[in-house]
Structure 1
């Protein structure tokens, strides 16, 4: 990760490359910090000539050959809110990628939210995922960014916390981007295990244990693969914790659709179908590293939905953990089937105060809300407000979708308790199906369908092309608030 330091640029000489954040003003844009006298007039004229209006993340480059600084990057921070500073940080990570070091001129009264946004954008914006070596012109050289602010304890603490969160977002991105011929359930379980930090306990149930204990949904979905299914459990239980949150993350390492096979185009990005598991795990690890005083248990059912003589079939009846049964109407509605087992186990044995599941579950949520917004389902007004507030603060987006009673009848089945694919409206009926496994916790449960925002088809502010690590920032903000 790029090193971010607070204070004056090192050495007596000014920095070779200078970053000047500018905020939207009544006429054009104005620097947020006082500029050195020798460049002030030149920069003001440059802002006017380029018609820079301070748009968040907008970068204009002023070359100054044979002078110091040799280059000035003018970057917009909009109205100065955290999201705008995040966009600015990401833009600098890319615009200055070929520089070794840059210095950033900020206000002497730099606010915590400004530094947090800029640092997070910088660390998330520098992210790339490649299995091949980059071309020479793609190699990132930027190693140090000096933010010209007094290194107070408060600002240093902001940097330390932000670094943890950004690193965990990038860990979730790495897991999700990894091709599925590598990312089997056992490989993913091992990657999680290797990241376990002090105070976090790790356990995994293998196929034999899942069968012995009755996790029929996970076994059914993973039965067609040469790579057996697993259930990973992480626990963070710090002294003094008064609330217990259980997170369940969908971990389908590849989804062919099973017997109800997907068309090729729909299968192309199915390596991302474990994005919910990656988010839940990364957020739990971040909470532990930040020493949040809240108990968290994370369950990630891991399976590969494949075709073989052992694959589950449409018309089968699956018996879940705890005894509820599902009539299989589509083997391509597999995520909810594995998550149902994990949720039922959590309710029966973990005594959670709150239950939250995250899943790349339905294309219907993208149709309803577009590419950047996750669908949030809950019967709890308190969870709705707290999760929405956390998402807004984190620069991510959720929108409440209804758990509409008129579709409850569609989730029922003829020869089993439930129908795993009740049809349209697809995101709503999927949520209603999962709610049945929340049991007595249905008023303390929330479901987030994050299928669309888990992946970006292009570079967009702090998002790299590919996996976004969506939800890690939201969960950490939410858990931090709950921890007090």
Structure 2
């Protein structure tokens, strides 16, 4: 879908989307349309359950008095609560509504009602990125889809009083959305198409953005002593890969980088500890952590972030075979620790163990964050509303929590401690890869922490519950979510680049419209002070 920006004007054809505040309060354009159409807008609201709440939509077809095919009313909620997230939900809701109506072209009017802090061009940019994210489809394997089953909308024009400013703000947001879409593509691919070797090729074009792509094959990993990762891979005909994505965008290219580590199990049968057949097809997205790492590097490089970031993806396939790892086997990790493998379905932590060590040993990162669809237990704990957050550093945990809140990718911190660590003690090795059924997500994090040096600030994000969605949401269609890309992009903007966002040059955080609104409030206060001084 092509997105463009223009000045407010009544289109001669197609659909027009206009905002309505909570309580069925129409905006300026909606009021004008009501007058032109002889009151059809108000009558439609009076005879519908539409209240103007955030993301609600109401279609007024073939309105009399205009040449539009339809008017779509979209709820904005309360004016004082309209922020970047609300505008993205508005853009997403409008796009979802328009997708099945048949119009190839539509316009979305973004106004600034009284009480709204967000500037209109910034609001327009976020509405546009919401539309972009909601319009995503993974349809490359659909060969017999009927035309009427496909979204008709091809062109969306967002109208506001500063289209140039909106376009500039959107450009920064859109490169981050491209990173989200890359992650969604990767997690959506079937395992016969996406496996360790083909994953590498799928991200090769990141080199065009200035990201170096390096690949360690099985021989190199064996030389490094990565027995934990290789133990997982040994049952598959697909050879493992360690993918290293390096982006150096800081003024000091030698400064210690942020390291992002992703679990990349391109298919997880559970190995010898095989999973039940029901739902096993979902395990194609057990490489979600690696997908987020790749998408984040695309986003950061695309917007030329002033940061040094290294992405490392441990890519394996976990299969049962005559060569597969067995329960009871003992493997040795790259840092020399021994692990008793109690359950071969707890494989992701084995992969991450060696990659975490490698990231620290080679790159000496300032911080290290790993992402993994690691445990079903985190879904029991947090459902699909939050990712699980574990950390050895309060400042990093707080930064991740704040970044997640700003972009709508929420995380919830869970505890670590010696009592949990004791649960993974082994009778014959340094540790075992699972504890008992209690605190499964925590013991998994404790396992990972054993491969983090004391001096390295580290966080683990368990994204098992948020990587795939079984229903549509405001800006996320059913399927791969891309959760984590915008979160990490915002973290980099806040923690490394010193704030700023997609509405400002060099920034990338989607929630910075809130900061922008705060600046506007500050300016208003200064103006009020000046007026009082002049009166005196």
Fold similarity call, TM over 0.5? yes
C-alpha distance after superposition, 1:157-195 (max 9, x if no partner): 211012111121111111101111111110111101133
Moved more, 364-373 or 31-40: 31-40
Which of 99, 114, 122 is the matching residue for 2:123? 114
Query: Which deviations, in whole Å up to 9, do the C-alpha atoms of 1:384-443 show, x marking residues without a partner?
Result: 22111111111122111111331111122222212111132100000010011111245x
Written as runs of structure 1 = structure 2, the 5 A alignment for 1:70-469 is 70-79=69-78, 80-97=82-99, 98-107=102-111, 110-111=119-120, 113-130=122-139, 131-133=141-143, 134-151=145-162, 154-241=165-252, 242=255, 244-423=257-436, 424-442=438-456, 444-469=457-482
Residues 77 and 338 of structure 1, relative CA distance in 2, 3 Å threshold: same
C-alpha separation between the residues in 2 aligned to 1:271 and 1:22? 41
1:82 is displaced (CA, Å) by 2.3
What are the within-5 Å matches in structure 2 for residues 34-73 of structure 1? 35-36=31-32, 37-39=35-37, 41-64=39-62, 67-73=66-72
Contact 1:371 1:453 in 2 (8 A): yes
Structure 1 contact 57–91 (Cα < 8 Å) conserved: yes
Task: Return the alpha-carbon distance in structure 2 between the equivalents of residues 159 and 167 of structure 1.
Answer: 12
CA distance in 2, matches of 1:181, 1:13: 47
Distance 1:14 1:125 in 2: 26
| Displacement over 4 Å in runs of 4+ | 32-35
Matched-pair contact (CA < 8 Å) for 2:247–2:310: yes
Whether contact under 8 Å (1:197, 1:289) holds in the other structure is no
d(CA) in 2 for partners of 1:32, 1:321: 64
CA change 1:403–1:33 in 2 (3 A) is: farther
SS across alignment from 1:46: helix
In structure 1, stretches of 5+ residues that fail to align are none
User: Is the contact between residue 29 and residue 47 of structure 1 (CA under 8 Å) also seen in structure 2?
Assistant: no
The alpha-carbon deviation at position 248 of structure 1 amounts to 0.2
Q: Tell me the TM-score normalised to structure 2 length.
A: 0.85
Is the 2:264–2:316 contact (alpha carbons within 8 Å) kept by the matching residues of 1? Answer: yes
Contact 1:169-1:469 within 8 A present in 2 as well = yes
Change (3 A) 1:291 1:101: same
**Structure 1 contact 197–285 (Cα < 8 Å) conserved:** no
State the TM-score, normalizing by the size of structure 1. 0.94
Residue 39 (structure 1) shift: 4.4
Asked if the contact 2:176/2:302 (under 8 Å) is kept, the reply is no
Q: Distance in 2 between matches of 1:65 and 1:200?
A: 51
Cα distance change on mapping 1:227 and 1:360 into 2, 3 Å: same
CA–CA distance in structure 1, aligned partners of residues 319 and 6 of structure 2: 51
Contact kept in structure 1, 2:206 and 2:212, CA below 8 Å: no
Shift of 1:51: 4.0
Question: 2:24 maps to which residue?
Answer: 28
Report if aligned partners of 2:5, 2:166 keep a CA contact under 8 Å in 1: no
What's the CA shift string for 1:143-163, capped at 9, x where partnerless?
222222134554222110121
| Contact 1:225–1:306, Cα closer than 8 Å, also in 2 | yes
Q: Could you tell me whether the CA contact under 8 Å between 2:53 and 2:76 is conserved in 1?
A: yes
Distance in 1, matches of 2:14 and 2:319, equals 55
Count of residues in correspondence between the two structures: 479
Shift, 1:4, TM fit: 2.8
Determine if contact 2:40/2:63 at 8 Å carries over to the other structure.
Answer: no
1:81–1:113 contact (8 Å) kept in structure 2: no
What's the Cα RMSD here? Answer: 1.9
